[in-house]
């Protein structure tokens, strides 16, 4: 399968050369995914917007460190956003707030006004559907362990406590889940 993520990997190298148009294009293409990720991690729009801004500032200043051989630019941007989101989560101890607010649905306007081209949007949507299908193939126990680590930044022992499962079991589930994700990745390269 061809991948639009790979085919659009020219944006960040252009950003590294100081191309503001490429920077704007990268924002238009990826900000929706990154903002959704940060909302999932942080649970509130104000923090998510602050971290999204920091993410793009870091992308602008560190674009020269992006290496297309090591991974796609969307993965590079997601890694920056996720790392900053988890840092924010920990520094502001939002985790305890989120636990207090458990069960409260966060209302997020999902009227996605896409500034990417129609063709780009169609490809990205197709890929999202394919990604969700791949995630749906993961056994629930593995997916839950991975999501707790990825979206809440929990350690192995914290996940073990949360799920009331032995540490070894949690570790094995995460390793198996990651192997399956890595296998599925081949379809998106």
Q: Which of 34, 53, 43 is nearest to 94 (CA)?
A: 43
Longest dimension (CA), the chain: 51
Among 10, 14, 16, 134, interactor with another protein by CB under 8 A: 134
Residue 185 touches another protein, criterion: CB under 8 A: yes
Q: Which of residues 153-182 bind another protein (CB under 8 A)?
A: 153-157, 159, 166-169, 171-176, 178-179, 181-182
Residue 71 touches another protein, criterion: CB under 8 A: yes
The helix (H) or strand (E) run that includes residue 76 is: helix 73-91
Residue matched to tokens 């399956």: 180
The smaller minimum CB distance to another protein, of residues 86 and 94, is found at 86
Ramachandran sector of residue 66 (left: φ over 0; alpha: ψ -120 to 50; beta: rest): beta
Please tell me the count of residues contacting another protein according to CB under 8 A: 82
Among 18, 64, 65, 114, interactor with another protein by CB under 8 A: 114
Residue 106 touches another protein, criterion: CB under 8 A: no
The smaller minimum CB distance to another protein, of residues 101 and 125, is found at 125
Q: How far apart are CA 52 and CA 59, in angstroms?
A: 10
The smaller minimum CB distance to another protein, of residues 97 and 157, is found at 157
Q: How far apart are CA 37 and CA 40, in angstroms?
A: 5
């Amino acid at each position: 399968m061809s991948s639009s993520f790979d085919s659009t990997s020219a944006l960040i190298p252009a950003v590294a050369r100081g191309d503001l148009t490429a920077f704007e294009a990268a924002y238009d293409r990826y900000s929706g995914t990154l903002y959704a990720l940060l909302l999932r991690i942080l649970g509130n729009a104000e923090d998510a917007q602050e971290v999204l801004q920091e993410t793009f500032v870091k992308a602008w200043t560190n674009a020269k460190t992006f290496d297309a051989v090591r991974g796609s630019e969307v993965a590079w941007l997601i890694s920056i956003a996720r790392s900053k989101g988890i840092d924010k989560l920990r520094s502001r101890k939002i985790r305890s707030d989120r636990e207090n607010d458990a069960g409260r649905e966060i209302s997020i306007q999902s009227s996605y006004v896409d500034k990417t081209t129609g063709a780009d949007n169609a490809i990205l949507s197709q890929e999202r559907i394919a990604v969700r299908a791949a995630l749906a193939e993961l056994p629930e126990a593995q997916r839950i362990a991975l999501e707790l680590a990825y979206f809440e930044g929990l350690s192995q022992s914290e996940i073990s406590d949360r799920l009331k499962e032995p540490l070894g079991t949690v570790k094995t589930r995460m390793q198996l889940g990651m192997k399956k994700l890595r296998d599925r990745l081949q379809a998106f390269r």
